Amino acid sequence: MAIHEACGVFGVYDADGGCARSVYYGLYALQHRGQEACGIASINNMELSCHKGHGLVGDVFTEAIIGELNGTMALGHVYYGAEASARNAEQPLTLSYLKGSLAVAHNGNLRNSDSLRLEYEERGAVFHTSTDCEIIANIIAQARLHTESVEMAVKEAMTRLKGAFSLVVMSSRKLIAARDPWGFRPLCIGKKGKSFVFASETCALDSIGAEFVRDVEPGEVVWVFEGKMMSDRENCAGKSSLCVFEHLYFARPDSVIDGQSVYDARILAGQCLARERPVDGDVVIGVPDSGLVAAKGYALATGIQYNDGFVKNRYIGRTFIQPKQSSREEAVKIKLNPLRATIDGKRVIVVDDSIVRATTTDKTIKRLREAGAKEIHVRIASPKFISPCYYGTDIPSKDMLFACKHTTKEMCDIIGADSLGFLSVDSLSSIAPNSTLGFCDACFTEKYPVP
């Protein structure tokens, strides 16, 4: 079974060199999308080099390694996976084949990976990893044997792939970006001087001083060759399905995805939540980090004071993307510390982005009780999770989803809150009015855009 992943990709083309350092900074900006592993591949004088490993960007790369990777093109990847034991999951994936060298970085999850893997194994292919990325790389390499260019090989490969894939691909002379026809995962284009940049989020462009140009359209293939950018939009006619969870959780609030500010989307989610699930309280607090902006929106809509309710330990990662449940539970204990001055004796409205498994929510509520909260009213800036995600978000099978096993009242009692309320599914259409794409909300509705 393929590893489910929702990662970050970043690529740079700059004829003057220095690309590996730019990718290094870009991956730092995307670190929130994956903290398990990372890697950078580069091209220097037509030669492909790569370094990758498990850990954070700052731990895997040193000044010496960045210097060795320097070149005129580079791409990078930050990774998280549902299987911590998959030690071969680091990207970019690199290979040498008849037409030269190839590096691929992938964000998403294929739905037909098993059948594709079997097909290529029956042709004699040998796979060294369990990732979708290696399948994609093999399909591109074989397509290149009978197409006129690597970008056309990527285009042909896309017709074989079903599911979510935002790709950055590098040959010895070209840097290519491609996005699946549904646009499940974000991918944008930036420019800095004569250099071109591809990134999962606009915040990564900001990190190197690149100017946002536009988003890669769903189904589009974009490539840079000899300092010029070109694109093929032949497969850009379908219905789009950007993962709405990008706006609710995954993306950084300072990013703009397909025309919509993530910060504004979370403010609107909080405001909608306040109108739908009002409650009397003395203070509104958010659960760091992705619940903070929605909490501000809730406070704006109600007129109830917003304040900091937790002090976050900045040296521990996001508990949601820890690969094992035991890791998540241990991490939350040291991640958040309630701010007693805000909470003691107060009726506290706690806003969070979601409840998936609820294995950390009860512990957070317990700590607020211990800090002196008089009442605790939990408000969730997304609907109930009722179905798994198959397109790259780490949302497990139904038997692990809290909302599938309990009513709202039962959920409230289990987590130890005085009340519990969720954003309605109908409000999802209101939180991103500037988005150029439609949304996939299958985790809330069970309506999957791709079987």
Question: Which range has the worst mean pLDDT, 179-193, 197-211, 235-249, 313-327?
Answer: 313-327
Taking 90 as the threshold, does the pLDDT of residue 106 lie above it?
yes
What the block records as the tokens of 349 is 């409205």
Instruction: Provide the pLDDT for residue 89.
Output: 78
Instruction: Provide the pLDDT for residue 392.
Output: 78
Q: Is the Cβ–Cβ distance between 66 and 125 less than 8 Å?
A: no
- 45 three-state secondary structure: coil
- The radius of gyration of the chain from alpha carbons, rounded to an integer in Å, stands at 22
Taking 60 as the threshold, does the pLDDT of residue 318 lie above it?
no
DSSP annotation of 71: S
Instruction: Provide the pLDDT for residue 323.
Output: 53
Taking 80 as the threshold, does the pLDDT of residue 304 lie above it?
yes
Mean pLDDT, to the nearest integer, of 359-387?
95
Quote the CA–CA distance of 298 and 273 in Å, as a whole number: 7
Cα 156 → chain centroid: 25
Residues 6+ away with beta carbon under 8 Å from 168: 9, 10, 11, 75, 104, 105, 175, 176, 177, 198
Question: What count of residues does the chain have?
Answer: 451
Residues 6+ away with beta carbon under 8 Å from 67: none
Question: Which range has the worst mean pLDDT, 77-86, 205-214, 253-262, 421-430?
Answer: 77-86
Inter-CA distances, 227 with 191, 197, 290, Å = 11, 12, 38
Q: What percentage of residues in the chain have a pLDDT greater than 70?
A: 93
Domains of the chain: 8-238 (3.60.20.10), 246-445 (3.40.50.2020)
pTM of the entire structure?
0.93
Residues 6+ away with beta carbon under 8 Å from 123: none
Quote the CA–CA distance of 412 and 378 in Å, as a whole number: 8
Instruction: Provide the pLDDT for residue 1.
Output: 29
Instruction: Provide the pLDDT for residue 317.
Output: 56
Catalytic residues: 7
Instruction: Provide the pLDDT for residue 87.
Output: 58
Inter-CA distances, 252 with 265, 275, 450, Å = 11, 25, 26
Written as one letter, the residue type at 347 is R
| Higher-scoring residue by pLDDT: 75, 390 | 75
What the block records as the tokens of 52 is 């990758």
Q: Is the Cβ–Cβ distance between 339 and 311 less than 8 Å?
A: yes
Which long-range CB contacts under 8 A does 410-413 form with residues at least 24 apart?
A: 411/355, 411/358, 412/378
| Residues 409-430 pLDDT 10s | 999 999 999 999 999 999 999 9
Q: Is the Cβ–Cβ distance between 361 and 355 less than 8 Å?
A: yes
Ramachandran category for residue 361: left, alpha or beta (phi over 0 → left; psi -120 to 50 → alpha): alpha
| Higher-scoring residue by pLDDT: 262, 360 | 262
What the block records as the tokens of 336 is 């958040």
Give the torsion sign (CA, 42, 48, 49, 51): positive
| Higher-scoring residue by pLDDT: 325, 214 | 214
| Residues 2-41 pLDDT 10s | 334 469 999 999 999 999 999 999 999 999 999 999 999 9
Q: Is the Cβ–Cβ distance between 90 and 61 less than 8 Å?
A: no
Output the average pLDDT for the chain. Answer: 92
Quote the CA–CA distance of 281 and 307 in Å, as a whole number: 12
Q: What percentage of residues in the chain have a pLDDT greater than 90?
A: 82
| Residues 138-172 pLDDT 10s | 999 999 999 999 999 999 999 999 999 999 999 99
